[in-house]
Amino acid sequence: MLTVNNVITEKDTIAIELKEKILNLKSKIGIIGLGYVGLPLAVEKCKAGFSVIGFDIDPFRVGMISDSNSYIGDVADEDLRNVVSKGQLTATTDFLRLSECDVVIICVPTPLTINRDPDISYIKAASEKIAENLRQGQLVTLESTTYPGTTEEVILPILTKTGLRIGLDFFLAYSPERVDPGNKQFTTQNTSKVVGGITPVCLELAYTLYQQTIINVVPVSSTAAAELTKIFENTYRAVNIALVNELMMLCERMGIDIWEIVEAAGTKPFGIQTFYPGPGVGGHCIPIDPFYLTWKAREYNFHTRFIELAGEINVEVSNYVVQKVVRVLNDNHKSVRDANVFVLGVAYKKDVNDLRESPALRVIELLRAQGADLSYHDPNIPVIEPQDGSTVFLTCQPLTDELLAQADCVLILTDHSNVDYNQVASSARLIVDTRNAMKNVISNRDKIIKI
């Protein structure tokens, strides 16, 4: 492991002053972007004793925070109220206040363009705002997932246009977020944090910052190494999910239960990590991050065939689910056109209220295109509004025996824990289960079709 302590010497007077502020919890932290990453991070820093200013372009978010109302599932209202009432956390749309901050952390979205190329416009906009208010003695860190080279090739030139010197006057690092929404076991505090700096002094300061709130901080040799670490983590997951999804489609032809295979293989104590099949991949990371790497690879005349194939499979599996519904309806003497399909669960993963890149949106669009009549129930998603190219607009329906019985098919796309699956089995006429949510249901199993 890299050695990061004691790199700062007596001549680094600005760095010494900043490090002492960090160690004494006197440094004021600014966080740009108060979404799924930024708000939990802000609260965590406040709990450690720091004072935090949260910056966002959305006045709704700023107002919610000021009123101590959390819009992020992983941040309890009580925790937010505690840090806001003490004055530790304030939120604003006024980016001029960046000059008040000793540390500025960028947590903005990094989506894909319509051509599936990286869209780092939010990173650039945040960097420009920082540059307009940059002063001596500030540490800037980027946490948004991005391609290797972004921190050094994009952010650094914007900040150095001010005339301030990197590693002497101001400091720049990259430390990727590792948030897993809905995960109660691994939180911001107990999830290891990777960090890389533009210079050794930058690294030491960023390492010191994250050590104050995170149990294990892992330094790497450069910001590009830290950026690639994050991309690799999510690409690893995308590839393995694609593998089990492909196996699922093969198992159907072979008449073998994929869930039995996965669970049996998972009993091996070494050499395998369990991944589960499903209707596709969702969330901000897995469907997007691998394409950041494939885009960057083209700069080196390298074709990432494995990664791109995984992406194709994870999209194709949504089509597979739709065709499965069509076949099941046909087997029950019902055309998909005008069929009443009741979707159970639309969040991208269980027990979260996040719709970003959810495969449920693709499946609903595809079924609608074939003439099906769609409705849904999700205890965490009260309404589906058009987003990310999806035109779906639906309102959550109650999970009643009457609605279940009226449906020609109940399609389980997200296996939330707070759903009564025995009720579903008792009332539904036909169930297509893409998540093995009905595995513990004993009665009426003849209604259940697993993928």
Could you give the residue numbers annotated as active site? Answer: 285
Q: 184: burial class by Cβ within 10 Å (0-12, 13-18, 19+)?
A: exposed
**List of residues 6+ apart from 74 with CB closer than 8 A:** 36, 40, 179, 181, 182, 187
The alpha carbon torsion through 210, 211, 213, 218 (nearest 10 deg) reads 70
Report d(CA 155, CA 134) in Å as an integer: 13
Residue with tokens 């589960």: 276
DSSP codes of every residue in 72-119: STTS-HHHHHHHHHTTSEEEES-GGGGGG-SEEEE-----B-TTS-B-
Question: Are β-strands 138-142 and 217-219 bridged in parallel, bridged antiparallel, or unpaired?
Answer: unpaired
User: In this structure, what are the phi and psi dihedrals at residue 190, rounded to the nearest 5 degrees?
Assistant: -105, 15
Residue type, 183: N
User: In this structure, what are the phi and psi dihedrals at residue 373, rounded to the nearest 5 degrees?
Assistant: -100, 115
Question: Are β-strands 431-433 and 409-412 bridged in parallel, bridged antiparallel, or unpaired?
Answer: parallel
Distances (CA, A) of 398 to 325, 377, 406, 429: 22, 6, 13, 17
Q: Identify which of 405, 387, 311 has the alpha carbon closest to the alpha carbon of residue 346.
A: 387
Report d(CA 94, CA 185) in Å as an integer: 35
Report d(CA 365, CA 30) in Å as an integer: 40
Report d(CA 427, CA 407) in Å as an integer: 10
